[in-house]
Amino acid sequence: MAARTRGSGFPQADTSGAAAEPPGWWLGSGSSEVFLPEETRAAAPVDFLQELPSYQSALRRRAAAGGTQERRTAPQGSAGLRAAEARGPEQEGGELGVRPAREYPLSIAEKRRLRDCQQADIKYLSGWKQWKRTSSKSLKKVLNEAKELSSYLELWRHDIRSIEGKFGTGIQSYFSFLRFLVLLNFIIFILMFSFVTLPTIISEYGIFNSSFAKIPPKNIEPHCTVYKPSGNKGLVYFYTYLKDLLSGTGFLEVTSLFYGYYTIDAAWLSILRYNLPLAYLLATFAYLALSLLWIIKRSGEGFKQNLVHDEDQFQSYCNKVFAGWDFCITDPNAAQLKHRSLQYELQTDLEEERLKRKIADRTMKEKLRIYSLRIFINIIVIAVLSGCFYSIYRATVFSQENSNDVSNTNFQANLLVQYLPSMVITLANFIAPQIFSFLIRFEDYSPAFEIRLTLMRCIFVRLANIGVLLFSLWSQISYCATDKCKACGYNYELYPCWESEVGQEMYKLMIFDFIIILAVTLFIDFPRKLLVTHCSCKPVQWCGLQEFGISDNVLEIIYGQTICWIGTFFSPLLPAIATIKYFIIFYVKKISLMHTRKPAARPVRASSSNFFFLVVLLIGLVLAFIPLGISIAHIPSSKACGPFRSFNTSWAVVPDTILGFPTGLQQVLHSIASEAFAVPFFMVICLVMFYFIALAGAHKRVVEQLREQLVMVRFDPVFCTPKVFFVLSVIRHAEEQQFS
Amino acid sequence: MPVSPARVARGAEGGAAGRARPGARRCHGSGRVTCEAEAARAAMGGSASLLPREALCEYQELTFLSKQEILLAYKRFSELLPKEERENACSARVPKSQILTLPELRANPFQHRICRVFSTSYDGDDSMSFEDFLDMLSVFSDSATSDIKSHYAFRIFDFDDDGTLDRKDLEKLVNCLTGQGEESRLSNMEMEQLIQNILEESDIDKDGTINLSEFQHVISRSPDFASSFKIVL
């Protein structure tokens, strides 16, 4: 191909062996060359690009699917489909047809012809390739069948689809999230049940020739080991059962629901020794690790996008416009709402952009005023938070002191005192967000940032409240005045089995949370709907129905899930209760949504919702690690009940087991935990991280430079279109390298 | 008026020209087993209007739909036809007005473009045959690759069918999104600002239009596309 020159000094098309020339690809350099894709099969282009792994894979792809370019340009001109139709058969006749027919954007008739050609070509392939092709085809078929079958097992498939059709993908993502939590809790329950509860029950009842051993702990003061739970005392009033059911005391305390039941040191199933304490601890670590890995796997996509690109992907205009319409909406009313919310969203974003420009023009005096106002408001926020925490602390202390003193006669008062911490927490979770959304108006942020900051504050309030409750419980439990008490390490008189106490508190929190959700739906949502439908006076109509606030609902269930994670160590059957609770909540929320709510004015997008839910869930999980870590490793385990009687702390069972290993293994484990290993390991990890950061930076620079080149390339119209496609595919591969 | 047997025959001729065909095998075969066999069977007044098994397998192979979805699509498609034509559902064409009564398309602002893009009618009346209908569902299904989806999204958004998305196309697109009434449109200034932003983000070669490659590039970075570009019966 002859070189083409342009009078205005545009880059020359270089024909021969461009590989021999040094890379002249950059703007402003002396001899700039632009390579031609048609010739790259024969002569490789500039050296630098040759080295790009993305270029290599782009070459491989082009060789494999040579007809792709032509098909992509098919829409030019009005005979789109038919043009491809004409070109299709000749194109595919000679190639290997690596992709199955259905992945080509053609009509079914054309795909049929394409497939016929691919089949015809099989005859000309060698036997090995033929076999490979047919076996991969049958494998794909089997996988498809398996996928179809497994889709039947999906829980609530039809319900979620109908919600999606009526309300869009934002609200549907909430219900998918709920389904995910049901599954997660079910798996955690299976884990704890099969490794902790089942062996205990088997050995207690002597099934399969099993037995158990209760080794009395040595070196422990006898007064620490006294534990007499009330259990069933024969004839009692009926309401005692109700009270016990609601607060986890009485007959419920001695069941396998709570930690105190597992007072077994070793179980024997015929001749195998089952180390229950170790199993208990390891099952705890296992369910935490499982939750962490599953959440990270689910949020993988969102993280990748956010880390690699600078611009906020969820806020980009292209995302809002090109992926703005939910094609699955079937209800005309919902479509109308969607139109309005899209209009609102676009207008708000454009407004925000104009606002940002205005903000950049602020004077120094204004900035000073605004920053001092923000500091003042943050101080108020901190004051509100401290108020919440203090009230929870006092309520917990009061509840603990009085529930141990009062007699069983006044049923309601006793129940009230038992549930006082839960009620205070729920009240704080309700009031604090209202205060925050009121205060944020004065801080003069952009609307999107306002929403995010309020959300962050609400998340913090909800999760920190649980932490404060646990902290106040512990301060009560480990408060030691006498020497006798110090010998045990905890307050043995009031809390002979303190883990069961903590388990009971978590149980109460969970039950109360569930009751509140049901009560709000029954006693607030439905009457409100009845009022709005039948009463036509002005203030009622102005109030209207409540919106389905996704973030509020999500925070609610994440709060419940954090309680479950913390509580499972103290109450192994708690995940079962959580599973049932979320199962019922799905239906309650669905009915409430369909009948009593109006959809939110500001639309929530599915992808950003999913990402947000999983990030907050992760925060909850990480916050759950802290109290569990302190309980397991720091606070002395109770000596009167539980599998860790003979150990100092719950964690002590692990070093104990390691001492029982053969010496070689012990030495290996000790060396892994020592500094001589940890420091070099840490340094290697840092080096690897720096390497990947540098690689990502280099790819980013290449992407930028290629983008600049594309603008230049546009002025070469004869070669323009294929070149643009090719370079764009190289850019895309470079970006994909950044992902990995 | 069903035009199909002639069209199918034309297609068959084009496909058979100058190519050796292996013997027709069940499900892997390339025989013309689909519509002609069914039409023949229907003509003989045979079985009820179900999809023949070979056709089902073939459609499974050529589209991204599962067996259940194809059967459901067949059922819904035949319901759109008047009673006497239901026997030949596989080869009949449904006029555009009927297709737009489907709930999945009824509320969709892009309904006309969808019919235009997927219809293979030579008359230009945007009527759809069963295979066009399947094609549409396949592109909008869960398992379609994002390449296919973005390709067809581009064609749907290209209102003037010129192969690029220029300012006019983008303006029509935004108007479709915000609704048809006068008060639901963006003001001129807002529209200008919005189109400017879109072009800034997606127009890499800065020629003022978005071609297919740039569109696919920007869609690949759009996290919402896969979940919103979906129709399920």
When mean pLDDT is compared across A101-110, A206-215, B68-77, the lowest value belongs to A206-215
Q: Contact B194/A346, CB-based, under 8 Å?
A: yes
How many angstroms away from the CA of B83 is the closest CA of chain A?
Answer: 25
Using a CB-CB cut-off of 8 Å, the residues of chain B touching A729 are: 213
Model confidence at A515, in pLDDT bands (50, 70, 90)? very high
Model confidence at A695, in pLDDT bands (50, 70, 90)? very high
Q: Contact A318/B109, CB-based, under 8 Å?
A: no
Q: Is the pLDDT of residue A698 over 60?
A: yes
Question: Do residues A626 and A464 lie in contact, with contact meaning Cβ atoms separated by under 8 Å?
Answer: no
ipTM score assigned to the predicted complex: 0.79
Classified as helix, coil or strand, A29 is coil
Model confidence at B9, in pLDDT bands (50, 70, 90)? very low
Using a CB-CB cut-off of 8 Å, the residues of chain B touching A111 are: 62
Classified as helix, coil or strand, A573 is coil
Over residues A689-714, mean pLDDT: 88
Q: Is the pLDDT of residue A1 over 70?
A: no
State pLDDT tens for residues A31-70: 333 333 343 333 334 544 555 555 566 667 666 554 443 3
Kindly provide the b/e burial profile for residues A534-562, where b requires at least 16 CB atoms within 10 angstroms of the residue's own CB: eeeeeeeeeeebeebebbebbbbbbbbbb
State pLDDT tens for residues B166-204: 999 999 999 999 887 888 888 889 999 999 999 988 888
Q: Look up residue A653 and give its two tokens.
A: 């069972």
Q: Is B22 on the interface with A (CB under 8 A)?
A: yes
Q: Which residue of A has its CA nearest to B69?
A: A148
Over residues B91-108, mean pLDDT: 87
Q: Contact A108/B131, CB-based, under 8 Å?
A: yes
- How, if at all, do strands A546-547 and A272-274 pair? unpaired
Q: Contact A105/B177, CB-based, under 8 Å?
A: no
Q: Is B76 on the interface with A (CB under 8 A)?
A: no
Residue for token digits 């470079």? A734
Over residues B63-77, mean pLDDT: 89
Using a CB-CB cut-off of 8 Å, the residues of chain A touching B186 are: 343, 346-347, 350
Q: Look up residue A235 and give its two tokens.
A: 């004839």
Q: Contact B155/A75, CB-based, under 8 Å?
A: yes
pLDDT given at position A379: 94
Q: Contact B222/A319, CB-based, under 8 Å?
A: yes
How many angstroms away from the CA of B203 is the closest CA of chain A?
Answer: 10
pLDDT given at position A723: 61
β-partners of residue B210 are B165
Of A226-230, A521-525, A729-733, the range with the highest mean pLDDT is A521-525
CB neighbour class for A504 (10 Å; exposed up to 12, middle 13-18, buried from 19): buried
Share of chain A above pLDDT 90, in %: 20
Q: Is B228 on the interface with A (CB under 8 A)?
A: yes
Q: Contact B103/A112, CB-based, under 8 Å?
A: no
Among the partner-chain residues A301, A323, A608, the one whose CB lies closest to the CB of B228 is: A323
Q: Which residue of A has its CA nearest to B233?
A: A328
Within the 124-163 window of chain B, which residues sit less than 8 Å (CB to CB) from chain A? 131-132, 134-135, 138, 140, 145, 147-148, 151-155, 157-158, 161-163
pLDDT given at position A386: 93
Of A225, A218, A284, the C-alpha closest to A638 is: A225
How many angstroms away from the CA of A336 is the closest CA of chain B?
Answer: 8
How many angstroms away from the CA of A409 is the closest CA of chain B?
Answer: 58
State pLDDT tens for residues A355-378: 887 777 778 888 888 889 999 999
How many angstroms away from the CA of B230 is the closest CA of chain A?
Answer: 6
Question: Do residues A484 and A451 lie in contact, with contact meaning Cβ atoms separated by under 8 Å?
Answer: no
Which residues, at least 6 apart from A517, have a Cβ–Cβ distance to it below 8 Å? A556, A585, A588
Q: Contact B107/A353, CB-based, under 8 Å?
A: no
Using a CB-CB cut-off of 8 Å, the residues of chain A touching B224 are: 169, 314, 319, 323-324, 605-608
State pLDDT tens for residues A375-392: 999 999 999 999 999 999
pLDDT given at position B60: 87
Give which of A177, A318, A711 to mutate to test B binding, by max B Cβ within 10 Å.
A318
CA-to-CA distance for A364 and A399, rounded, in angstroms? Answer: 52
A with B: how many residue pairs have Cβ under 8 Å apart?
A: 237
For chain A, give the mean pLDDT: 78
Q: Contact A119/B22, CB-based, under 8 Å?
A: yes
Positive or negative, the CA dihedral A448, A450, A456, A459 is: negative
CA-to-CA distance for B179 and B186, rounded, in angstroms? Answer: 10
Using a CB-CB cut-off of 8 Å, the residues of chain A touching B106 are: 330, 332
Q: Which residue of A has its CA nearest to B171?
A: A321
Q: Contact A321/B134, CB-based, under 8 Å?
A: no
Question: Do residues A330 and B106 lie in contact, with contact meaning Cβ atoms separated by under 8 Å?
Answer: yes
Q: Is B210 on the interface with A (CB under 8 A)?
A: no
Share of chain B above pLDDT 70, in %: 79
pLDDT given at position A51: 52
Of A443-457, A568-582, B218-232, the range with the highest mean pLDDT is A568-582
CB neighbour class for A612 (10 Å; exposed up to 12, middle 13-18, buried from 19): buried
Count the Cβ atoms, other than its own, within 10 Å of residue A701: 11
Positive or negative, the CA dihedral A68, A70, A76, A80 is: negative
Among the partner-chain residues B28, B161, B227, the one whose CB lies closest to the CB of A78 is: B161
Tell me, rounded to whole angstroms, the distance of Cα A353 from its chain centroid: 30
Model confidence at A476, in pLDDT bands (50, 70, 90)? confident
pLDDT given at position A286: 95
pLDDT given at position A50: 56
How many angstroms away from the CA of A103 is the closest CA of chain B?
Answer: 7
pLDDT given at position A739: 67
Q: Contact B15/A113, CB-based, under 8 Å?
A: yes
pLDDT given at position B29: 40
Among the partner-chain residues A101, A161, A332, the one whose CB lies closest to the CB of B232 is: A161
Q: Is the pLDDT of residue A332 over 60?
A: yes
Of B135, B200, B150, the C-alpha closest to A75 is: B150
Q: Contact B62/A340, CB-based, under 8 Å?
A: no
Q: Contact B229/A323, CB-based, under 8 Å?
A: yes
Among the partner-chain residues B64, B193, B224, the one whose CB lies closest to the CB of A102 is: B64
State pLDDT tens for residues A263-317: 887 888 777 888 888 999 999 999 999 999 999 888 876 666 555 554 555 567 8
Q: Is B111 on the interface with A (CB under 8 A)?
A: no
Over residues A179-183, mean pLDDT: 93
How many angstroms away from the CA of B104 is the closest CA of chain A?
Answer: 5
Q: Which residue of A has its CA nearest to B225?
A: A323
Q: Is the pLDDT of residue A155 over 90?
A: no
Model confidence at A579, in pLDDT bands (50, 70, 90)? very high
Using a CB-CB cut-off of 8 Å, the residues of chain B touching A339 are: 109, 177-179, 184
How many angstroms away from the CA of A226 is the closest CA of chain B?
Answer: 59
Over residues A175-196, mean pLDDT: 93
pLDDT given at position A62: 65
Q: Contact B184/A724, CB-based, under 8 Å?
A: no
Q: Contact A334/B206, CB-based, under 8 Å?
A: no
Q: Is the pLDDT of residue A27 over 80?
A: no
Q: Contact B62/A325, CB-based, under 8 Å?
A: no
Of A135-149, A338-352, A673-687, the range with the highest mean pLDDT is A673-687
pLDDT given at position B44: 47
Q: Say which DSSP state B100 is in.
A: T
Q: Is the pLDDT of residue A525 over 70?
A: yes
Of A118-132, A291-305, A498-512, B22-36, the range with the highest mean pLDDT is A498-512
pLDDT given at position A721: 61
Question: Do residues A117 and A93 lie in contact, with contact meaning Cβ atoms separated by under 8 Å?
Answer: yes
Q: Is the pLDDT of residue A242 over 90?
A: no
Model confidence at A88, in pLDDT bands (50, 70, 90)? very low
When mean pLDDT is compared across A6-15, A132-141, A413-422, A425-434, the lowest value belongs to A6-15
Q: Is the pLDDT of residue A720 over 70?
A: no
Give which of B33, B65, B167, B178 to mutate to test A binding, by max A Cβ within 10 Å.
B178
Q: Is the pLDDT of residue A547 over 50?
A: yes
For chain B, give the mean pLDDT: 78
State pLDDT tens for residues A382-420: 999 999 999 999 999 888 888 766 555 677 787 888 888
Q: In what order do the strands lie in the sheet with A266-269?
A: A210-213, A266-269, A272-274
pLDDT given at position B2: 45
Give which of B117, B224, B230, B233 to mutate to test A binding, by max A Cβ within 10 Å.
B224
Q: Contact B228/A326, CB-based, under 8 Å?
A: yes
How many angstroms away from the CA of A731 is the closest CA of chain B?
Answer: 9
Among the partner-chain residues A115, A120, A340, the one whose CB lies closest to the CB of B179 is: A340
